[in-house]
Structure 1
Amino acid sequence: MLESDTFWALVGLILFFVVIAAVGAPRRIVTALDARTQRIRTELDEARRNREEAQSLLAEYQRRRRDAEAEAESIIDEARREARRLTEEANEKLRDMVERRTRAAEDKIARAEAQAIAEVRTRAADLAVGAATDILEKRVRGGTAKRLIDASIDVVRQRLD
């Protein structure tokens, strides 16, 4: 048995395990594995926290985007209402201006018409007085003629005014 290679291989293996145990290799291996396990747990916990933080940031940014879209929509609606109001106000002012200008033009036309009628009456009165004067001068002579002419002129003027 002492001469068998298998026996000495077994003795060598046992001595190897005894030396490893004496040096404290199993404790070191276990400690190293425990440290690695702890490091992996820490990394997993940090990854979980980072994921949760990322999700909360994503939710916050989505909420902000929705709020910004709602505010933009509100601003657009307000701008549309303001544009409608300004358009209606401009149209109303335009209608008022057109009405005022129409009235002013009508008043100007009426004044021009009244002035033309007055000028025609004045001209007609002057022509009638001139014609009456010519007729009376040709038919009547002397002081009587002058009295009749003056009376006729007064009557014509009163009727034309």
Structure 2
Amino acid sequence: MHFDAEFFVAVGFVLFVLLLGYLGVHRTILSALDGRSKMIADELDQARRLREEAEAVLASFKKKAIEAEAEAQAIVAQAKTEAEAMAKETAERMQDFVARRTKQAEAKIAMAEAQAANDVRAIVADVAAKAAETVLKAETKGQAAADLIAKGIGELKSRLVH
């Protein structure tokens, strides 16, 4: 047989591997690898759970966003309806106000016309009474004439005023 350096390296390697097998290093290595693979599997499970939770939260947020959008549209629609109702009510109140003001103005005009007619009648009565007094004074003389004039003027005024 030929004993050279390569032979001794091979024998040393085989003895080293047998020693490692005898001491149970392979179990320690396998145990370490199993622990590492379990840790990786746990991390993958945790990552899967976190992803599922994130998807659930995302779905919840999307649902809430849709609900918020619908609620916002409902609020806008209600606000439009209320604004239209307020505008209609304001227009009706304005029309009522204008109608009341018109009636008040017409009533004031009618009162002013009536007052003017009464004033004209009073002036006409005074003028007619003065004219009648002047005519009667010129045509009649004495105390009987004065009594007759006073009585006639009183009757004339009462007829013309009423």
Distance in 1, matches of 2:106 and 2:55, equals: 75
- 1:18-97 to structure 2, matched below 5 A, reads 18-97=18-97
Deviation at 1:149, TM superposition (A): 6.7
Deviation at 1:5, TM superposition (A): 2.7
Could you state the TM-score of these two structures normalised by the residue count of structure 2?
Answer: 0.88
Could you state the TM-score of these two structures normalised by the residue count of structure 1?
Answer: 0.88
Give the number of aligned pairs. 161
Does the 8 A contact of 1:136 with 1:149 survive in 2?
no
Aligned twin of 1:137: 137
Aligned twin of 2:17: 17
Distance in 1, matches of 2:105 and 2:9, equals: 131
Distance in 1, matches of 2:20 and 2:76, equals: 79
Q: How high is the sequence identity, in percent, across the aligned residues?
A: 39
Distance in 1, matches of 2:29 and 2:54, equals: 37
Letter in 2 for 1:71: E
Deviation at 1:144, TM superposition (A): 6.1
Aligned twin of 2:7: 7
Choose 107-116 or 68-77, whichever is displaced more: 68-77
- 1:119-134 to structure 2, matched below 5 A, reads 119-134=119-134
Deviation at 1:47, TM superposition (A): 0.2
Cα deviations across residues 9-43 of structure 1 (Å, max 9, x unaligned)?
A: 22112101111101111111111111111111110
Choose 137-146 or 123-132, whichever is displaced more: 137-146
Gaps of 5+ in 1: none
Per the alignment, do residues 8 and 132 of structure 1 end up closer, same or farther by CA in structure 2, a change over 3 Å counting? same
Distance in 2, matches of 1:36 and 1:57, equals: 31
Aligned twin of 2:159: 158
Distance in 2, matches of 1:121 and 1:110, equals: 16
Choose 55-64 or 132-141, whichever is displaced more: 132-141
SS in 2 for 1:3: coil
Report which structure shows greater RCO (CA 8 Å, sep ≥6): 2
Letter in 1 for 2:54: A
Distance in 1, matches of 2:112 and 2:46, equals: 96
Letter in 1 for 2:62: Q
Distance in 1, matches of 2:9 and 2:153, equals: 171
Does the 8 A contact of 1:121 with 1:160 survive in 2?
yes
C-alpha RMSD of matched pairs (Å): 2.1
